[in-house]
């Protein structure tokens, strides 16, 4: 086989066998306060029987947190909630973030994504929200206000499954290594040189382990992404680029993903510590209006 053909061969053929154990673990779960309908073998579940606009007691909160950690992204339908109710729900899981670059809604914690023929969707890259912060997010709660009849889906990928499926030699290669995350090559592009320098003082490049351990489940996951990870510490530029490229390739494997078709008043609540997501930008010039609230998390370890 030629070197050119060899270089384009996928890393893996056939079933991702470790998904079977993930599916078995999820199948064994039970919840008292709501029904859970899995949406893929790895991650994602629709939660039925919860009204996000109503006050949440501690028992319900604990069950939802357990479901979030295990399924990694929870979907809720028909949630006609106000921004205040949206924020109240998210706040039950931690302190809320104010994003320094994205447009606010009626409250500073609310990010409003309003896309139309003039403002196009550019979130169609695999990423974990605000990984460029020294303390990134725990999770995000996104609600659909206006969606096209077709298109505008969001996809999530299970970064625990991604890590578990890596070849053993690659796991050894990344064990203990640190990657640097930075906003400069994304949000920084819209800033002047002076504005960028000022924001850099507030948000210096963040150093996170390539493999982080989930603070609740204790499971390991891959924690690098295409838009915020700049390089791997201690490696020459070309080696860093090649290593990250190999890791990003695994993030794109469909077997590790779930895809959600939005409807008006649908809500997705995902764990940024163990997932990445991708907003499909296939609906232009139709309108898509979403509001997101992000919950501050912990320092990756």
**Catalytic choice (86, 181, 212, 292):** 292
Q: Return phi, psi of residue 181, to 5°.
A: -115, 140
- Angle value at C-alpha 136, between 216 and 291, nearest 5 degrees: 100
Task: Clarify whether 277 is annotated catalytic.
Answer: yes
Q: Kindly tell me the sign of the dihedral angle through the C-alpha atoms of 155, 160, 163, 168.
A: negative
Low-confidence residues of the chain: pLDDT under 50: 1-9
Task: Clarify whether 129 is annotated catalytic.
Answer: yes
Cβ proximity of 136 and 128 under 8 Å: yes
Note the pLDDT of residue 235: 97
**Catalytic choice (16, 86, 127, 208):** 127
Cβ proximity of 52 and 89 under 8 Å: yes
- How far apart CA 122 and CA 58 sit, in angstroms, is 37
Note the pLDDT of residue 1: 34
Instruction: Classify residue 187 as exposed, middle or buried by CB count within 10 Å of its CB (0-12, 13-18, 19+).
Output: buried
The pTM (predicted TM-score) of the whole model is: 0.93
Of 146, 158, 110, 103, nearest to 295 by C-alpha is 110
Q: Return phi, psi of residue 71, to 5°.
A: -90, -20
Helix (H) or strand (E) segment spanning residue 27 = helix 19-27
CA distances from residue 121 to 96, 226, 230, 264, 287 in whole angstroms, order as listed: 24, 17, 22, 18, 10
Q: Kindly tell me the sign of the dihedral angle through the C-alpha atoms of 36, 38, 42, 43.
A: negative
Note the pLDDT of residue 147: 96
The answer as to CATH 3.30.260.10 being correct for domain 10-296 is no
**Catalytic choice (208, 212, 277, 288):** 277
136: left (phi over 0), alpha (psi -120 to 50) or beta: beta
Task: Clarify whether 32 is annotated catalytic.
Answer: no
* Burial profile 111-135: b = 16 or more Cβ within 10 angstroms, e = fewer: bebebeeeeebebeebbbbbbbbee
Note the pLDDT of residue 200: 83
Of 63, 228, 221, 243, nearest to 170 by C-alpha is 243
CA distances from residue 89 to 53, 96, 269, 293, 299 in whole angstroms, order as listed: 8, 11, 10, 10, 23
Q: Which two tokens stand for residue 201?
A: 């003082």
Domain ranges, ordered by start, for the chain: 10-296
Residue where the block lists tokens 């029987």 = 49
Task: Clarify whether 17 is annotated catalytic.
Answer: no
**Catalytic choice (16, 86, 129, 158):** 129
């Amino acid at each position: 086989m030629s070197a050119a053909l060899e270089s384009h061969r996928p890393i893996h053929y056939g079933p991702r066998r470790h998904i079977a154990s993930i599916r078995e673990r999820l199948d064994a779960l039970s919840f008292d306060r709501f029904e859970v309908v899995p949406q893929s073998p790895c991650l994602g579940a629709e939660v039925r029987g919860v009204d996000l606009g109503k006050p949440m007691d501690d028992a319900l909160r604990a069950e939802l947190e357990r479901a979030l950690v295990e399924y990694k992204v929870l979907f809720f339908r028909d949630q006609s909630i106000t921004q205040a109710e949206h924020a109240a729900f998210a706040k039950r899981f931690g302190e809320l973030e104010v994003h320094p670059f994205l447009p606010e809604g009626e409250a500073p914690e609310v990010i409003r994504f309003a896309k139309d023929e003039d403002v196009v969707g550019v979130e169609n890259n695999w990423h974990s929200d605000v990984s460029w912060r020294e303390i990134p997010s725990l999770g995000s709660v996104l609600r659909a206000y206006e969606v096209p009849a077709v298109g505008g889906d969001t996809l999530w990928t299970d970064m625990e499954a991604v890590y578990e499926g890596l070849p053993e030699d690659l796991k050894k290669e990344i064990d203990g290594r640190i990657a640097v995350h930075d906003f400069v090559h994304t949000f920084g592009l819209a800033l002047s040189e002076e504005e960028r320098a000022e924001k850099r003082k507030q948000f210096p490049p963040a150093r996170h382990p390539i493999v982080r351990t989930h603070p609740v489940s204790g499971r390991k996951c891959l924690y690098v992404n295409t838009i915020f990870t700049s390089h791997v510490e201690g490696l020459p530029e070309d080696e860093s680029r090649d290593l990250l490229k190999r890791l990003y390739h695994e993030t794109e494997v469909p077997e590790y993903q779930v895809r959600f078709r939005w409807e008006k008043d649908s809500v997705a609540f995902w764990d940024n510590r163990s997932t990445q997501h991708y907003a499909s930008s296939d609906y232009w010039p139709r309108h898509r209006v979403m509001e997101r609230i992000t919950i501050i998390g912990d320092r990756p370890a």
